[in-house]
Amino acid sequence: MTAVSSPSHRISAFFHRKPQLRLGLLLTAPMLWLGLAYLGALAALFITAFWSTDVFTGKVVTDWSFDNFVTLFSDSVYRTITFRTVGIALLVTVIDAVIAFPMAFAMAKLASPKAQRVLVIMVMTPLWASYLVKAYAWRTLLSGNGVLNWLLDPLGLSAPGYGVTATVITLSYLWLPYMILPIYAGLERLPVSLVDASGDLGAKSFRTFRSVILPLTFPAIVAGSIFTFSLSLGDYIAVKIVGGTSQMLGNVVYDNIGAANNLPFAATVATVPVVIMLVYLAAVRRTGALDNL
Amino acid sequence: MKNRKTLLAGLCGVSLLLAACGTSGSDSKAGSAPGAQGFTPPKLNALTQLGQPEGQLNVLAWPGYAENGQNDAKVNWVTPFEQQTGCKVNVKPFGTSDEAVTLMKTGQYDVVSASGDASLRLVASGDVEPVNTALVPNYNDIYPFLKNKSWNSVNNVAYGIPHGWGANVLAYRTDKVQPEPTSWSPMFDEKSQFKGKVIAYDSPIYIADAALYLMAHQPDLGIKNPYALDDKQFKAATDLLKKQRPLVEEYWSDYLKETQSLKSGDGVIGTAWQVTVNLAKSEGAPVAATVPSEGATGWSDTWMVSAKSQHKTCAYKWMDYITSPKVNAQVAEYFGEAPANSKACAEFKDKSLCDTYHANDAAYAAKIQYWTTPIPQCLDGRTDVKCKDYGDWTRAWTEIKG
């Protein structure tokens, strides 16, 4: 004869027999949070992209249409801006990788442990300063009578002035720490014995770099590139400060909300960097870079 | 002579619209019976009487209109107001009319100093409500030529208190630009010697500056009002701006950015406000300003009350205070514009400025092409064509900047 079990006992016994259901319920709360706050906001954005705005009163009209997307794809100016933005983001990423690698290498492999800690802090200090101050500092540096011109003048050169070049320089400066730190972390994990072994087997330093160090730290570089690429892709402040007449995708989003009060079209434009990032992430997933984040 | 013609055309346009729309006014279906400006504002009532000041006021203002000593310790007319009324004032400056319109939608601001290109949009969307001018004693002294205009009233219902007006001037570095420019050509001519040194205003409304230039230089386009552009005229204006882009060093929406450009010499000529010129001068830059022969676009600003305001008594007290002769003079002198109060000129520290800004000069005031929101109904009175609306202007502006 079986004892009559209490209801709570019965429930726990029920979940004991169904581990998947148990797990599902446990995950509900965090999934709801993620779903509502993060994906929900994204979905709302995407839905808005199919609406339109009464241009005069600025009220959102909830009539469904593809008009915004048609404008986005048919107007050549948005294509130009997209290509310019992606170009700037790629260039910034490459420049940062080229500058960051030797710096990270020196930090991880050449510096003493004590110096390492100091160097990491030094790399991080700019992150603690305000973005705006740094961008405006570059505006002053790049100005016609700024320091850069003063330095370049004796060489017969001049500063690039405000424009795409200035934007690339400023963004490269702003995001450099985001590239150095992942590469530094990747190089730290690289055993010195592998480099030594490569040398013992007769490889010159460049060969060692190409065949041993680079393949092993490549995922770390890609991890850094996700930061520099996505941050550049979404930026609109630096280009507003030093970009002269040029604009990026972020400016179009900002102008459509801030100036034109056209939230639907801004949402349409905002889906472009989201899609680009999804493609980028899908591409880098294979390198194992996502495990390095 | 020419200006008088333009004025006449403009007047005809307004009266034509009034006549055309007056007949269809009885149809009460919302949206289908446009008022004088081509739309029916939402039904909102003005305040009937003042209550106790609510202790707080959120002001959305053009930079320089509500100074509280933060930019310059000597320039402060917010604190005396706070002491008089007990309304603690929070000031939020904005850079473009579009920004003001967007911010007003949040309902967080009680009053706004709206220019003509923002005011009608605010009225149409119900973000601002009619103003009971009887509760604003200083309204009596406002110049008559600023009252009940198409940008601050609808069907003779006032939606705000005029504040001041002025022109978008041509600013230039006196050491780099010689002789003194008398035309907007250095900013628009492809062969301008100031290539890469031109500073232009960053807002769709800047298209009107190009249209104004075309009024003088391509009369065959038949532009009567730079805010009423049909397809052909609009294309000519935007093409002109696309050609201007290579000349432009940068577009500004933050007047401090332009001040810095003029100071450093990165930009040597540009469209500016008098306040920018004054500021650059005060910081030692050799900068001067002029209204070129083609005339200029400009602004006529109005203090308006948010329909969602929780501090309406404070808002009315502010509107009365800021348009009182003394304070109106202070603001006008600091910002560099003509005051709206006819008694303000007597209060100016520098009496010559009132002549500089043509404060008493109704004819001059009529000459400026005030910012107005472009709508499909042509503002110059043409009924045979459809004009480009502000949405088109905004999209074109993105395209111009490329």
B232-273 pLDDT, tens digit per residue, is 999 999 999 999 999 999 999 888 889 999 998 889 999 999
Residue of B nearest to A244 (CA): B250
pLDDT at B297 > cutoff 80: yes
Instruction: Residue B395: list chain A partners with CB under 8 A.
Output: 71, 75
Instruction: Residue B102: list chain A partners with CB under 8 A.
Output: 58, 257-259, 261
Distance from CA of A173 to the nearest CA of B (A): 22
Q: Does the global pTM surpass 0.80?
A: no
pLDDT at residue number A82 = 94
Instruction: Residue A243: list chain B partners with CB under 8 A.
Output: 250
Residue of A nearest to B261 (CA): A143
pLDDT at residue number B359 = 85
d(CA A163, CA A142): 10
pLDDT in tens, A198-215: 889 988 888 988 888 888
pLDDT in tens, A16-68: 888 888 888 888 888 888 778 888 888 888 888 888 877 677 777 888 888 88
Taking an 8 Å cut-off on Cβ atoms, the answer to whether B394 and A262 are in contact is: yes
Report whether B311 contacts B287 (CB < 8 A): no
pLDDT in tens, A62-94: 888 888 898 888 888 899 999 999 999 999 999
pLDDT in tens, B303-361: 999 999 999 999 999 999 999 999 999 999 998 899 999 999 999 988 888 887 888 88
User: Residue B349 class from Cβ within 10 Å (0-12 exposed, 13-18 middle, 19+ buried)?
Assistant: exposed
Taking an 8 Å cut-off on Cβ atoms, the answer to whether A144 and B265 are in contact is: yes
pLDDT in tens, B163-218: 999 999 999 999 999 889 999 999 999 898 999 999 999 989 999 999 999 999 99
d(CA B249, CA B214): 22
Share of residues in chain A with pLDDT > 70 (%): 94
A187's tokens: 């190089």
B169 interfacial to chain A (CB closer than 8 Å): no
pLDDT at A230 > cutoff 80: yes
pLDDT at residue number A18 = 82
pLDDT in tens, B121-136: 899 889 999 999 999 9
B250's tokens: 């940068």
A231 interfacial to chain B (CB closer than 8 Å): no
**Does the predicted interface ipTM exceed a cut of 0.85?**
no
- The H or E element that residue A60 is part of is strand A60-61
Distance from CA of B317 to the nearest CA of A (A): 28
A1 interfacial to chain B (CB closer than 8 Å): no
Residue of B nearest to A257 (CA): B102
How open is the CA angle B125-B45-B136, to the nearest 5 degrees? 105
A252 interfacial to chain B (CB closer than 8 Å): yes
Average pLDDT (A154-180) is: 91
pLDDT at residue number A292 = 61
Closest partner residue to A258 among B102, B121, B264, by Cβ? B102
A143 interfacial to chain B (CB closer than 8 Å): yes
Average pLDDT (B68-72) is: 83
pLDDT at residue number B24 = 32
With H, G, I as helix, E, B as strand and everything else as coil, classify residue A239. helix
pLDDT at B9 > cutoff 60: no
pLDDT at residue number A283 = 87
Taking an 8 Å cut-off on Cβ atoms, the answer to whether A258 and B250 are in contact is: no
Q: For chains A and B, what is the number of CB pairs under 8 angstroms?
A: 95
B39 interfacial to chain A (CB closer than 8 Å): yes
Q: Which of B392, B391, B327 shows the shortest CA–CA distance to B121?
A: B391
Residue of A nearest to B38 (CA): A56
Closest partner residue to B389 among A55, A247, A257, by Cβ? A55
Distance from CA of B198 to the nearest CA of A (A): 11
B122 interfacial to chain A (CB closer than 8 Å): no
pLDDT at B227 > cutoff 70: yes
pLDDT in tens, B14-68: 433 333 333 333 333 333 233 446 678 888 999 999 999 999 999 999 998 999 8
Report whether A233 contacts A276 (CB < 8 A): yes
